[in-house]
Structure 1
Amino acid sequence: MKTDFALIMALPSESKGLFEQAGIDVHYSGIGKVNAAFKAFEVIQKTGCKTLLNLGTAGSTHFQAHELVEVHTFVQRDMDVSPLGFQVGETPMDTDFPAEISLECSFADLPKGICGTGDSFETGRPKVACQLVDMEGYALAKVCKKLGVRLISVKYITDGADDTAHLDWEENLLLGAQKLLKLYQSL
Protein backbone atom coordinates (compact mmCIF):
# COMPACT_ATOMS: atom_id res chain seq x y z
CA MET A 1 0.00 0.00 0.00
CA LYS A 2 2.83 2.45 0.79
CA THR A 3 3.89 2.73 -2.85
CA ASP A 4 0.65 4.29 -4.08
CA PHE A 5 0.02 6.83 -1.36
CA ALA A 6 1.42 10.08 -0.04
CA LEU A 7 1.50 11.26 3.58
CA ILE A 8 0.30 14.75 4.48
CA MET A 9 0.35 16.47 7.86
CA ALA A 10 -0.32 20.09 8.76
CA LEU A 11 2.85 20.97 10.67
CA PRO A 12 6.32 19.58 11.39
CA SER A 13 5.47 19.93 15.10
CA GLU A 14 2.87 17.17 14.60
CA SER A 15 5.58 14.71 13.52
CA LYS A 16 8.29 16.00 15.87
CA GLY A 17 10.88 14.86 13.29
CA LEU A 18 10.15 11.19 14.04
CA PHE A 19 8.84 10.43 10.55
CA GLU A 20 11.86 11.99 8.89
CA GLN A 21 14.20 10.11 11.26
CA ALA A 22 12.48 6.90 10.10
CA GLY A 23 13.06 7.87 6.44
CA ILE A 24 9.40 8.63 5.75
CA ASP A 25 8.53 11.37 3.27
CA VAL A 26 6.04 13.81 4.79
CA HIS A 27 4.31 16.65 2.95
CA TYR A 28 3.39 19.54 5.26
CA SER A 29 0.43 21.70 4.28
CA GLY A 30 0.60 24.48 6.81
CA ILE A 31 -2.37 25.57 8.89
CA GLY A 32 -5.88 26.10 7.56
CA LYS A 33 -8.16 25.07 4.73
CA VAL A 34 -6.58 27.16 1.97
CA ASN A 35 -3.07 25.89 2.68
CA ALA A 36 -4.34 22.31 2.98
CA ALA A 37 -6.26 22.46 -0.31
CA PHE A 38 -3.31 23.92 -2.19
CA LYS A 39 -0.82 21.41 -0.78
CA ALA A 40 -3.12 18.42 -1.35
CA PHE A 41 -3.57 19.42 -5.00
CA GLU A 42 0.19 19.92 -5.40
CA VAL A 43 1.06 16.56 -3.77
CA ILE A 44 -1.49 14.63 -5.83
CA GLN A 45 -0.29 16.23 -9.06
CA LYS A 46 3.39 15.71 -8.23
CA THR A 47 3.23 12.14 -6.87
CA GLY A 48 0.29 10.69 -8.80
CA CYS A 49 -0.80 9.00 -5.57
CA LYS A 50 -4.04 7.03 -5.46
CA THR A 51 -4.44 7.58 -1.71
CA LEU A 52 -3.61 10.58 0.43
CA LEU A 53 -2.96 9.65 4.06
CA ASN A 54 -3.61 12.48 6.50
CA LEU A 55 -2.18 12.04 9.98
CA GLY A 56 -2.45 14.83 12.52
CA THR A 57 -3.90 16.24 15.68
CA ALA A 58 -7.40 17.26 16.72
CA GLY A 59 -9.35 18.45 19.70
CA SER A 60 -12.42 16.70 21.04
CA THR A 61 -15.02 16.94 23.76
CA HIS A 62 -16.23 13.45 22.78
CA PHE A 63 -13.07 11.33 22.56
CA GLN A 64 -10.43 11.01 25.28
CA ALA A 65 -7.07 12.76 24.99
CA HIS A 66 -4.32 10.48 23.60
CA GLU A 67 -6.79 8.42 21.52
CA LEU A 68 -6.30 7.78 17.81
CA VAL A 69 -9.54 8.34 15.90
CA GLU A 70 -10.22 7.57 12.24
CA VAL A 71 -12.34 10.21 10.55
CA HIS A 72 -15.29 8.77 8.62
CA THR A 73 -16.84 12.14 7.71
CA PHE A 74 -15.62 15.72 7.39
CA VAL A 75 -17.82 18.81 7.78
CA GLN A 76 -17.06 22.53 7.73
CA ARG A 77 -17.66 24.00 11.17
CA ASP A 78 -16.97 27.58 10.07
CA MET A 79 -19.03 27.78 6.86
CA ASP A 80 -22.00 29.83 8.03
CA VAL A 81 -24.23 31.46 5.44
CA SER A 82 -27.35 30.78 7.51
CA PRO A 83 -28.59 34.41 7.25
CA LEU A 84 -29.19 33.65 3.55
CA GLY A 85 -31.15 30.48 4.35
CA PHE A 86 -28.38 27.87 4.09
CA GLN A 87 -27.55 25.25 6.71
CA VAL A 88 -24.44 25.87 8.79
CA GLY A 89 -21.66 23.88 7.10
CA GLU A 90 -23.24 24.09 3.64
CA THR A 91 -21.36 25.91 0.88
CA PRO A 92 -23.89 27.92 -1.14
CA MET A 93 -24.28 27.00 -4.80
CA ASP A 94 -21.82 24.09 -4.51
CA THR A 95 -24.05 21.44 -6.03
CA ASP A 96 -21.19 18.97 -6.65
CA PHE A 97 -20.36 18.40 -2.99
CA PRO A 98 -22.58 18.00 0.04
CA ALA A 99 -21.91 19.66 3.36
CA GLU A 100 -20.59 16.28 4.61
CA ILE A 101 -17.82 14.37 2.85
CA SER A 102 -17.68 10.69 3.82
CA LEU A 103 -14.54 8.57 3.69
CA GLU A 104 -13.95 4.83 3.44
CA CYS A 105 -12.51 3.59 6.71
CA SER A 106 -9.31 1.53 6.86
CA PHE A 107 -8.64 0.77 10.53
CA ALA A 108 -11.20 -1.59 12.05
CA ASP A 109 -9.69 -1.27 15.54
CA LEU A 110 -9.86 2.55 15.76
CA PRO A 111 -12.90 4.52 16.94
CA LYS A 112 -14.59 6.52 14.16
CA GLY A 113 -15.75 10.10 14.23
CA ILE A 114 -17.07 13.12 12.37
CA CYS A 115 -14.45 15.88 12.17
CA GLY A 116 -15.43 19.54 11.94
CA THR A 117 -12.86 21.60 10.04
CA GLY A 118 -12.52 25.34 10.42
CA ASP A 119 -10.04 28.17 10.13
CA SER A 120 -10.00 28.75 13.87
CA PHE A 121 -8.52 26.94 16.85
CA GLU A 122 -11.73 25.66 18.40
CA THR A 123 -12.14 26.17 22.14
CA GLY A 124 -15.90 25.79 22.40
CA ARG A 125 -18.86 23.90 20.99
CA PRO A 126 -18.88 23.91 17.15
CA LYS A 127 -22.01 25.05 15.29
CA VAL A 128 -22.19 21.72 13.41
CA ALA A 129 -22.50 18.20 14.78
CA CYS A 130 -19.05 16.65 15.09
CA GLN A 131 -16.99 14.72 17.62
CA LEU A 132 -13.55 16.18 16.85
CA VAL A 133 -12.19 19.38 15.34
CA ASP A 134 -9.25 20.25 13.11
CA MET A 135 -8.22 23.01 10.71
CA GLU A 136 -7.40 21.19 7.43
CA GLY A 137 -9.36 17.95 6.94
CA TYR A 138 -12.45 19.09 5.04
CA ALA A 139 -10.27 20.85 2.46
CA LEU A 140 -8.16 17.72 1.99
CA ALA A 141 -11.32 15.63 1.60
CA LYS A 142 -12.82 17.98 -0.98
CA VAL A 143 -9.67 18.10 -3.12
CA CYS A 144 -9.38 14.32 -2.98
CA LYS A 145 -13.03 13.83 -3.97
CA LYS A 146 -12.67 16.27 -6.88
CA LEU A 147 -9.55 14.47 -8.14
CA GLY A 148 -10.74 10.90 -7.52
CA VAL A 149 -8.10 10.19 -4.86
CA ARG A 150 -8.88 8.24 -1.71
CA LEU A 151 -8.35 10.05 1.60
CA ILE A 152 -7.60 8.24 4.85
CA SER A 153 -7.46 10.46 7.92
CA VAL A 154 -6.42 9.53 11.45
CA LYS A 155 -6.23 12.11 14.22
CA TYR A 156 -4.49 11.99 17.57
CA ILE A 157 -6.65 13.72 20.20
CA THR A 158 -4.40 16.26 21.92
CA ASP A 159 -6.94 18.31 23.81
CA GLY A 160 -10.53 18.79 24.91
CA ALA A 161 -11.25 21.71 22.53
CA ASP A 162 -11.72 23.93 25.57
CA ASP A 163 -10.08 26.92 27.24
CA THR A 164 -6.84 24.99 27.92
CA ALA A 165 -6.67 23.43 24.45
CA HIS A 166 -3.68 25.49 23.33
CA LEU A 167 -1.62 24.31 26.31
CA ASP A 168 -2.74 20.68 26.02
CA TRP A 169 -2.02 20.64 22.26
CA GLU A 170 1.62 21.69 22.77
CA GLU A 171 2.13 19.30 25.68
CA ASN A 172 0.79 16.26 23.83
CA LEU A 173 2.49 16.61 20.44
CA LEU A 174 5.39 14.20 21.10
CA LEU A 175 3.18 11.36 22.33
CA GLY A 176 0.88 11.98 19.37
CA ALA A 177 3.77 11.80 16.91
CA GLN A 178 4.93 8.53 18.46
CA LYS A 179 1.46 6.97 18.21
CA LEU A 180 0.93 8.20 14.63
CA LEU A 181 4.34 6.87 13.57
CA LYS A 182 3.54 3.46 15.07
CA LEU A 183 0.23 3.42 13.17
CA TYR A 184 1.99 4.39 9.93
CA GLN A 185 4.60 1.66 10.38
CA SER A 186 1.80 -0.90 10.86
CA LEU A 187 0.53 -0.33 7.30
Structure 2
Amino acid sequence: MGRLAIMAAMPQELQTLLDAMPDETRVRRAGPDFWVGHWEGRELVVVLSGIGKVAAATTATLLLTEFQATQILFVGVAGGLGADVQVGDVVVATELLQHDMDASPLFPRFEIPGQGLSRLPTHTALSNAVAAAATQALATGSGRRTTHALDALATQRDARVHQGLIVSGDRFVSSASESTALRQALPDALAVEMEGAALAQVCHDFGVPFAVVRTISDRADDTAHVDFGRFIDEVARHVALDIVRGTLRHGS
Protein backbone atom coordinates (compact mmCIF):
# COMPACT_ATOMS: atom_id res chain seq x y z
CA MET A 1 0.00 0.00 0.00
CA GLY A 2 3.00 2.28 0.40
CA ARG A 3 3.67 5.23 2.69
CA LEU A 4 0.98 7.85 3.14
CA ALA A 5 2.19 11.39 3.80
CA ILE A 6 0.08 13.80 5.84
CA MET A 7 0.74 17.52 5.43
CA ALA A 8 -0.86 19.55 8.23
CA ALA A 9 -1.35 23.26 7.76
CA MET A 10 -1.37 24.29 11.43
CA PRO A 11 0.92 23.29 14.34
CA GLN A 12 -2.13 22.33 16.45
CA GLU A 13 -3.28 19.90 13.76
CA LEU A 14 0.18 18.42 13.48
CA GLN A 15 0.45 17.89 17.24
CA THR A 16 -2.98 16.25 17.41
CA LEU A 17 -1.91 13.77 14.74
CA LEU A 18 1.42 13.10 16.45
CA ASP A 19 -0.36 12.46 19.75
CA ALA A 20 -2.34 9.69 18.02
CA MET A 21 0.74 7.99 16.51
CA PRO A 22 2.33 5.46 18.88
CA ASP A 23 5.86 5.28 17.45
CA GLU A 24 6.82 8.41 15.51
CA THR A 25 10.48 9.27 14.92
CA ARG A 26 11.63 12.78 14.00
CA VAL A 27 13.75 13.25 10.88
CA ARG A 28 14.93 16.70 9.72
CA ARG A 29 15.36 17.47 6.03
CA ALA A 30 16.11 20.95 4.64
CA GLY A 31 14.57 22.69 7.63
CA PRO A 32 11.23 20.96 8.34
CA ASP A 33 10.83 18.18 10.88
CA PHE A 34 9.26 15.07 9.39
CA TRP A 35 7.72 12.46 11.68
CA VAL A 36 7.87 8.85 10.48
CA GLY A 37 5.78 6.16 12.13
CA HIS A 38 2.63 4.04 11.95
CA TRP A 39 -1.04 4.49 12.74
CA GLU A 40 -4.07 2.31 12.04
CA GLY A 41 -1.78 -0.27 10.46
CA ARG A 42 -0.43 2.19 7.89
CA GLU A 43 3.09 3.56 7.45
CA LEU A 44 2.97 7.35 7.70
CA VAL A 45 5.15 10.41 7.45
CA VAL A 46 3.63 13.57 8.94
CA VAL A 47 4.90 17.12 8.51
CA LEU A 48 3.91 20.75 8.97
CA SER A 49 3.42 22.13 5.47
CA GLY A 50 4.57 25.68 6.08
CA ILE A 51 2.52 28.66 4.94
CA GLY A 52 2.27 29.59 1.28
CA LYS A 53 2.82 27.88 -2.03
CA VAL A 54 6.62 27.76 -2.01
CA ALA A 55 6.74 26.17 1.45
CA ALA A 56 4.09 23.63 0.47
CA ALA A 57 5.86 22.76 -2.78
CA THR A 58 9.21 22.32 -1.04
CA THR A 59 7.69 20.12 1.64
CA ALA A 60 5.78 18.01 -0.89
CA THR A 61 8.89 17.50 -3.00
CA LEU A 62 10.84 16.32 0.06
CA LEU A 63 8.05 13.90 0.94
CA LEU A 64 8.27 12.34 -2.50
CA THR A 65 12.04 12.32 -2.98
CA GLU A 66 13.40 11.81 0.55
CA PHE A 67 10.60 9.78 2.14
CA GLN A 68 9.20 7.93 -0.90
CA ALA A 69 5.60 8.84 -0.11
CA THR A 70 3.18 7.10 -2.45
CA GLN A 71 0.18 9.30 -1.54
CA ILE A 72 -0.19 12.73 0.07
CA LEU A 73 -3.13 14.02 2.09
CA PHE A 74 -3.26 17.69 3.03
CA VAL A 75 -5.42 18.70 6.01
CA GLY A 76 -6.03 22.26 7.12
CA VAL A 77 -8.45 25.18 7.22
CA ALA A 78 -9.70 27.57 4.56
CA GLY A 79 -11.98 30.48 3.91
CA GLY A 80 -15.39 29.71 2.44
CA LEU A 81 -16.30 31.11 -0.96
CA GLY A 82 -19.28 29.06 -2.12
CA ALA A 83 -22.65 30.53 -1.21
CA ASP A 84 -23.62 27.53 0.93
CA VAL A 85 -20.17 26.87 2.40
CA GLN A 86 -20.30 27.99 6.02
CA VAL A 87 -17.99 28.10 9.05
CA GLY A 88 -17.48 24.55 10.36
CA ASP A 89 -18.18 22.87 7.01
CA VAL A 90 -15.59 20.66 5.34
CA VAL A 91 -14.52 20.99 1.70
CA VAL A 92 -12.79 18.10 -0.07
CA ALA A 93 -11.09 19.23 -3.28
CA THR A 94 -11.85 17.56 -6.59
CA GLU A 95 -9.54 20.05 -8.33
CA LEU A 96 -7.23 22.91 -7.37
CA LEU A 97 -6.20 26.16 -9.06
CA GLN A 98 -3.79 29.02 -8.29
CA HIS A 99 -5.98 32.11 -8.19
CA ASP A 100 -2.93 34.40 -8.27
CA MET A 101 -1.34 32.76 -11.34
CA ASP A 102 -1.51 35.30 -14.15
CA ALA A 103 1.04 35.22 -16.96
CA SER A 104 -1.27 37.03 -19.39
CA PRO A 105 -1.12 38.03 -22.15
CA LEU A 106 1.42 35.27 -22.81
CA PHE A 107 -0.93 32.68 -21.32
CA PRO A 108 -4.57 32.73 -20.24
CA ARG A 109 -5.21 33.89 -16.69
CA PHE A 110 -4.83 31.05 -14.14
CA GLU A 111 -3.08 28.75 -16.65
CA ILE A 112 0.20 27.20 -15.47
CA PRO A 113 2.77 28.28 -18.10
CA GLY A 114 4.02 25.34 -20.13
CA GLN A 115 1.39 22.94 -18.76
CA GLY A 116 -1.63 24.02 -20.78
CA LEU A 117 -4.00 23.69 -17.83
CA SER A 118 -5.11 25.66 -14.80
CA ARG A 119 -7.11 23.12 -12.81
CA LEU A 120 -5.36 20.10 -11.35
CA PRO A 121 -7.60 17.16 -10.40
CA THR A 122 -7.18 15.25 -7.18
CA HIS A 123 -7.08 11.45 -7.01
CA THR A 124 -10.70 10.29 -7.17
CA ALA A 125 -10.52 7.21 -4.93
CA LEU A 126 -8.44 8.93 -2.24
CA SER A 127 -10.63 12.04 -2.28
CA ASN A 128 -13.79 9.94 -2.04
CA ALA A 129 -12.32 8.10 0.95
CA VAL A 130 -11.52 11.45 2.56
CA ALA A 131 -15.05 12.73 1.88
CA ALA A 132 -16.54 9.59 3.44
CA ALA A 133 -14.31 10.03 6.48
CA ALA A 134 -15.29 13.70 6.75
CA THR A 135 -18.98 12.83 6.55
CA GLN A 136 -18.54 10.31 9.34
CA ALA A 137 -16.53 12.76 11.43
CA LEU A 138 -19.24 15.41 11.22
CA ALA A 139 -22.00 12.87 11.88
CA THR A 140 -20.31 11.72 15.08
CA GLY A 141 -19.90 15.24 16.35
CA SER A 142 -16.25 16.28 15.93
CA GLY A 143 -17.23 19.02 13.50
CA ARG A 144 -20.56 20.09 14.96
CA ARG A 145 -20.77 23.73 15.90
CA THR A 146 -20.73 24.33 19.62
CA THR A 147 -21.50 27.30 21.84
CA HIS A 148 -18.12 29.01 21.70
CA ALA A 149 -16.85 32.36 20.48
CA LEU A 150 -17.57 31.48 16.85
CA ASP A 151 -21.33 31.50 17.38
CA ALA A 152 -21.45 35.08 16.12
CA LEU A 153 -20.17 33.85 12.75
CA ALA A 154 -21.72 30.40 12.47
CA THR A 155 -25.23 29.42 11.52
CA GLN A 156 -27.04 26.89 13.65
CA ARG A 157 -27.34 24.11 11.08
CA ASP A 158 -25.14 21.03 11.24
CA ALA A 159 -21.85 21.16 9.38
CA ARG A 160 -21.75 19.72 5.85
CA VAL A 161 -19.22 18.14 3.50
CA HIS A 162 -18.73 19.73 0.05
CA GLN A 163 -16.66 18.52 -2.90
CA GLY A 164 -15.36 20.76 -5.66
CA LEU A 165 -12.83 23.45 -6.57
CA ILE A 166 -10.43 24.86 -3.97
CA VAL A 167 -8.26 27.81 -5.00
CA SER A 168 -4.86 28.80 -3.58
CA GLY A 169 -2.78 31.97 -3.53
CA ASP A 170 0.03 33.62 -1.64
CA ARG A 171 -2.14 35.94 0.39
CA PHE A 172 -4.61 35.55 3.24
CA VAL A 173 -7.96 36.57 1.75
CA SER A 174 -9.58 38.63 4.48
CA SER A 175 -11.80 41.26 2.94
CA ALA A 176 -15.24 41.19 1.38
CA SER A 177 -13.93 42.89 -1.74
CA GLU A 178 -11.27 40.22 -2.29
CA SER A 179 -13.66 37.32 -1.77
CA THR A 180 -16.25 38.94 -4.05
CA ALA A 181 -13.64 39.34 -6.79
CA LEU A 182 -12.69 35.66 -6.46
CA ARG A 183 -16.33 34.58 -6.70
CA GLN A 184 -16.78 36.66 -9.83
CA ALA A 185 -13.65 35.27 -11.48
CA LEU A 186 -14.17 31.67 -10.32
CA PRO A 187 -17.87 31.20 -9.57
CA ASP A 188 -17.54 27.49 -8.81
CA ALA A 189 -14.77 27.93 -6.22
CA LEU A 190 -15.84 26.58 -2.84
CA ALA A 191 -12.90 27.65 -0.67
CA VAL A 192 -9.67 29.63 -0.70
CA GLU A 193 -6.37 28.86 1.04
CA MET A 194 -2.60 29.21 0.53
CA GLU A 195 -1.04 25.81 -0.22
CA GLY A 196 -3.20 23.20 -1.92
CA ALA A 197 -2.63 24.08 -5.57
CA ALA A 198 1.14 24.03 -5.05
CA LEU A 199 0.92 20.52 -3.62
CA ALA A 200 -1.30 19.61 -6.58
CA GLN A 201 1.27 20.80 -9.10
CA VAL A 202 4.10 18.86 -7.45
CA CYS A 203 2.02 15.68 -7.26
CA HIS A 204 0.89 16.17 -10.86
CA ASP A 205 4.51 16.43 -12.00
CA PHE A 206 5.50 13.31 -10.05
CA GLY A 207 2.36 11.34 -10.94
CA VAL A 208 1.52 10.73 -7.25
CA PRO A 209 -2.07 10.51 -5.90
CA PHE A 210 -3.10 13.29 -3.53
CA ALA A 211 -6.09 14.78 -1.76
CA VAL A 212 -6.77 18.10 -0.04
CA VAL A 213 -9.36 18.61 2.71
CA ARG A 214 -10.13 21.89 4.45
CA THR A 215 -12.34 22.80 7.40
CA ILE A 216 -13.93 26.20 6.87
CA SER A 217 -12.72 28.61 9.55
CA ASP A 218 -14.19 31.83 8.11
CA ARG A 219 -15.94 33.32 5.10
CA ALA A 220 -12.78 34.95 3.65
CA ASP A 221 -14.18 38.39 4.39
CA ASP A 222 -13.68 41.23 6.87
CA THR A 223 -14.29 38.90 9.83
CA ALA A 224 -11.76 36.27 8.69
CA HIS A 225 -9.35 36.97 11.56
CA VAL A 226 -11.96 36.69 14.33
CA ASP A 227 -11.28 33.83 16.77
CA PHE A 228 -9.15 32.00 14.19
CA GLY A 229 -6.85 30.47 16.80
CA ARG A 230 -9.74 29.34 18.95
CA PHE A 231 -11.43 27.71 15.96
CA ILE A 232 -8.25 25.70 15.29
CA ASP A 233 -8.09 24.54 18.91
CA GLU A 234 -11.77 23.81 19.42
CA VAL A 235 -12.85 22.51 16.02
CA ALA A 236 -10.34 22.14 13.19
CA ARG A 237 -7.70 19.98 14.87
CA HIS A 238 -10.33 17.48 16.04
CA VAL A 239 -11.93 17.32 12.60
CA ALA A 240 -8.51 16.78 10.99
CA LEU A 241 -7.73 13.91 13.38
CA ASP A 242 -11.03 12.15 12.69
CA ILE A 243 -10.72 12.64 8.93
CA VAL A 244 -7.22 11.15 8.85
CA ARG A 245 -8.27 8.25 11.09
CA GLY A 246 -11.33 7.56 8.95
CA THR A 247 -9.33 7.74 5.73
CA LEU A 248 -6.83 5.21 7.07
CA ARG A 249 -9.65 2.89 8.08
CA HIS A 250 -11.15 3.13 4.59
CA GLY A 251 -7.88 1.58 3.39
CA SER A 252 -7.08 4.07 0.62
Q: TM over 0.5: same fold? A: yes
Asked if residue 99 in structure 1 is aligned to residue 118 in structure 2, the reply is yes
Q: Residues 26-45 of structure 1: matches in 2 within 5 Å?
A: 26-45=46-65
Deviation per residue, 1:124-158 (Å, 9 max, x gap)? 22243411001000000010011111011111111
Structure 2, gaps ≥5 residues long: 25-34, 36-45, 136-160
Deviations 1:14-43 (A, max 9, x none): x16211211274211211001110110001
How far does residue 185 in structure 1 lie from its aligned partner after superposition? 1.2
Residues 97 and 49 of structure 1, relative CA distance in 2, 3 Å threshold: farther
What is the alpha-carbon distance in structure 2 between the residues aligned to residue 134 and residue 69 of structure 1? 11
Amino acid at match of 1:185: R
Tell me whether 119-128 or 57-66 shows the greater mean CA deviation: 119-128
Q: 5+ residue gaps in structure 1?
A: none
Given the superposition, is the C-alpha separation of residues 168 and 116 from structure 1 closer, same or farther in structure 2, using an over 3 Å criterion?
A: farther
Which residue in 1 is equivalent to 2:171? 120
Aligned to 1:7: 6
Instruction: Select 2:201's aligned residue among 138, 142, 145.
Output: 142
Asked if the contact 2:169/2:194 (under 8 Å) is kept, the reply is yes
1:4–1:165 CA distance, 2 compared to 1 (3 A): same
**Distance in structure 2 (CA, Å) of the matches to 1:140 and 1:97:** 18
CA offset at residue 171 of structure 1? 2.8
- C-alpha root-mean-square deviation of aligned residues, in Å? 1.9
Trace 1:62-81 onto structure 2 (pairs within 5 A).
62=82, 63-81=85-103
Please tell me whether the aligned partners of residues 16 and 173 of structure 1 are also in contact (alpha carbons under 8 angstroms): no
Distance 2:241 2:204 in 1: 26
Q: Match for residue 239 of structure 2? A: 179
Distance 2:239 2:72 in 1: 19
* 1:111 corresponding residue in structure 2: 162
* 3-state SS in 2 of match to 1:98: coil
Q: Which runs of 4+ in 1 moved over 4 A?
A: none
Q: 1:56 maps to which residue?
A: 76
Whose Rg is larger? 2
Distance of aligned partners of 1:136 and 1:143 in 2 relative to their CA distance in 1, 3 Å threshold: same
Instruction: Measure, in 1, the Cα distance between the counterparts of 2:210 and 2:244.
Output: 14
TM-score by length of 2: 0.67
Q: Percent identity?
A: 31
TM-score normalised by L of structure 1: 0.88
In the aligned structure 2, how far is the partner of 1:54 from the partner of 1:135? 12
Say if 2:95 and 2:166, in contact at 8 Å, map to a contact too: yes
